A and B are shown apart, each in its own frame.
Chain A
Amino acid sequence: MNVITGPVKQAGALFAMTLDILVALPKRPFQTKEFIQQCWFIASVTIVPTALVSIPFGAVIALQLGTLTRQLGAQSFTGAASVLAVVREASPIVTALLVAGAGGSAICADLGSRKIRDEIDAMEVLGISPIQRLVVPRVLACMLVAVLLNGLVSVVGVAGGYFFNVIIQGGTPGAYLASFTALAQLADLWTSEIKALLFGAVAAIVASYKGLTAGGGPKGVGDAVNQAVVITFMLLFVINFVVSAIYFQIVPQKV
C-alpha cells in the first residue's frame, strides 16, 4: 500500500505547493531584492558550465549530421539540420540539465538547510509566508535565467557546430550559413524558449518543495537535493516530449 500511496501523496503535495505558489505570485510586496539576488546567484552557478557543455553538444551534432549528410549527398543542408537540432531539442535539454543540476540543487540545499535550522518555522511564526518570501522569487528567477540560458546555449551550440563543421570537417561556410533558415523557423525559437521557461519553473518548484520538506538533519538535506535533481530530470524529459508533440500538432512545418 505504501508503495502506491507514498508517491501519490508526494505528487499531491508537490501539486498543492504549485498552487500555493500561483496564489502567492500576485501578492505584494514583491520581493524584488531577493529576486535579483537569486537571478544573479542562479546565473553565476550555471553560466560557465552551460557554455562548456553546449560547445561539445553542438560539435557532436555537427559531427553526426556532417557524416550523415555526406553519405546522403546533402552537405548543403548540414547547417539547416544543425540549427534545427540545436535550437529545437539540444538547447532546452542542456538548459534543463544545468538549471536542474546546478540551479535546482543549490536552491534545494539552501532551503533545506534553512528548514533543518528551524529558520523556515521561525519565519512562519513571525507571520511571514516562506512561499511568498522565498519560493516565489526563486521560481521567477529560475524561469528568467532558464530563458536567457537557452539563448546562450543556442548561440554557443550553433557556433560550436559551425566551428566543427567548417574548420574541422572542411565544410563550406557559405552553405552552412545560407541553409540556416531552410528548415528552422521563428516558431522553433519560441517553442524552445517556452520549454526553457517551463523547465526553469519545474526545476525551481521541485527544488523548493524538496527543500522545504527536508527533515532528519544534514543527511536529510543531502537526500532532498539528490531526490530533487532526479525528480526534476524525470519531469523535464516528460515535459520536453509533451511540448514537442504539441508543437508539431499546432505549428505547420516548413516544406
Chain B
Amino acid sequence: MGVAIEVTGLTKSFGSQKIWNDVTLTLPAGEISVMLGPSGTGKSVFLKTLVGLLKPDAGSIVINGDDLVTLKEHDLYEVRKLFGVLFQDGALFGSMNLYDNVAFPLREHTKKSESEVRRIVLEKMDLVGLSGAEDKLPGEISGGMRKRAGLARALVLDPEILLIDEPDSGLDPVRTSYINQLFIDLNAQIDATFLIVTHDINSTRTVPDNIGLLYHKHLAMFGPREMLLSSEEPVVRQFLNAQTIGPIGMSEEKDADELAAESGQELPPLPPIPLQLGTSDGRPRRAAKPAGEWCRAHGVTPPPGSFLSGNAGVPGVSQSVEVSTALGAAT
C-alpha cells in the first residue's frame, strides 16, 4: 500500500530567483497524481525537492510522520528507500550495462542471492519491454529505451512512492500510450503512490486520479481529475486544453495589453472529459473512482459528451462531440 505525501507551504528559490512559493498539497496514498505546468515552472525542481535532493527554503514534506526537510542525512537515506524515481533521461549509470543497472539497487540494499536477483531483474525488464537488451550499455540505446530501463530500475525495490519525471518526452505516441497503460497496471498491482511530471495533455486527461498545475511561481490548482477538467479557471482551462487564449503567454505571463486585446474573444467550450484509462486486464484499481462521481458530488455539470470515450477532448484527435459520442455509444 502506498504512502501519502503531505506538502505544506513549500517555498524554493535559487538565489534571488523564486521558483515557487507556498505550495501546499497532499498526494493521496495509492493514487496517481500528475503535476503539470508550462516549461520552466520548476516541476523537476519540485520532484527533486520531494526526494530531499534539494532543500526548500521553507515548508515541510511529511511522509509516514517524518519531515524530509529536517531529517538527518542518515535517516533521509532510509526514507528514500520508499521511493522509486525515474529521471528525465533515465539517469542510468553509464559504466554498467542495463542488467547491472537494474540489479544495482537489489545488490546494494538486499541480501538476495544472485539467482533471485536475476529473476527479479528479468521480470522487471520484461515488464517494460526490454527483454533481450540486458547486455547493452546506456550509451548504445535510444532515449526511450533508457527511460524504460530507468523505470525498471525504479521498480525493482517495490517502491511505495514512484516519482516520474516526464515519462513521455522523447517517446513516440505509441510508446507513450504503452507507458501510460503500464503506469495504470502498475498502480493496480503494487498500489504505490504515483507522481508524474509531464506536459503531455493526452496523458494528463486520461491517466491520473489527481491533477496539479504549477503556474506563475505557485500551485494554481490541485485536485481530482474531474475537478480540473471541468474547471472554468482561466489558467487551468487554457493549459488543459492547449489554447493560446488565456493568461499564459509565450514567455510566462501575458501583459495587460495582450490580455485586453483578447478580452472580446470568446473561449471555445470546454471539451468533454474522457473516461479514465482502465487496467489492461480489466482488474479494478483500488484508487479508481466511478466516472463522474466528483462532478455529481459537487454539483458540477460536466461538459456535454463527457465520460463516453477514452479519448474525448484530446487535442488533435477528434474535437467533434457528436462523433465521439456516437462512437462511444456504439462500442
Report the bound CA distance from A118 to B146 in whole Å.
13
Question: A127: which B residues are within 8 A, CB to CB?
Answer: 77-78, 80-81, 105, 108-109
Number of contacting residues on B, CB 8 A?
21
Whether B87 lies near A122 (C-beta < 8 A) is yes
- Interface size bracket, A side: 10 to 19
Report the bound CA distance from A124 to B91 in whole Å.
12
Known contacts A119-B93, A121-B48, A129 near B77 by CB under 8 Å = yes
A251 on interface, CB distance cutoff 8 Å: no
Q: Which residues of B, 31-88, contact A by the 8 Å Cβ criterion?
A: 48, 51, 53, 77-78, 80-81, 83, 85, 87-88
Question: B80: which A residues are within 8 A, CB to CB?
Answer: 124-127
Whether B77 lies near A114 (C-beta < 8 A) is no
A114 nearest CB neighbor, chain B only: B94
Q: Which residues of A, 118-176, contact B by the 8 Å Cβ criterion?
A: 118-119, 121-129
B200 on interface, CB distance cutoff 8 Å: no
Whole-angstrom distance from the CB of A67 to the nearest CB of chain B? 52
Number of A-B contacts defined by CB within 8 Å: 49
Whether A119 lies near B108 (C-beta < 8 A) is no
Report the bound CA distance from A172 to B109 in whole Å.
66
Whether B105 lies near A126 (C-beta < 8 A) is yes
A117 on interface, CB distance cutoff 8 Å: yes
Whole-angstrom distance from the CB of B330 to the nearest CB of chain A? 46
Whether B88 lies near A118 (C-beta < 8 A) is yes
Question: A123: which B residues are within 8 A, CB to CB?
Answer: 93
Q: Which of A113, A114, A118, A129 contacts B87 (CB 8 A)?
A: A118
Whether A128 lies near B108 (C-beta < 8 A) is yes
Whole-angstrom distance from the CB of A4 to the nearest CB of chain B? 16
Known contacts A117-B91, A117-B94, A119-B94, A125 near B85 by CB under 8 Å = yes
Report the bound CA distance from A142 to B324 in whole Å.
66
Whole-angstrom distance from the CB of A126 to the nearest CB of chain B? 5
Known contacts A124-B53, A127-B77, A129-B77, A119 near B85 by CB under 8 Å = no
Whole-angstrom distance from the CB of A12 to the nearest CB of chain B? 16
* B residues whose Cβ falls under 8 Å from a Cβ of A: 48, 51, 53, 77-78, 80-81, 83, 85, 87-89, 91-94, 104-105, 108-109, 150
| Interchain residue pairs with CB less than 8 A apart (17) | A117-B91, A117-B94, A118-B89, A119-B91, A121-B48, A121-B53, A121-B87, A121-B91, A122-B92, A122-B150, A125-B83, A125-B85, A126-B80, A127-B77, A127-B105, A128-B77, A128-B108
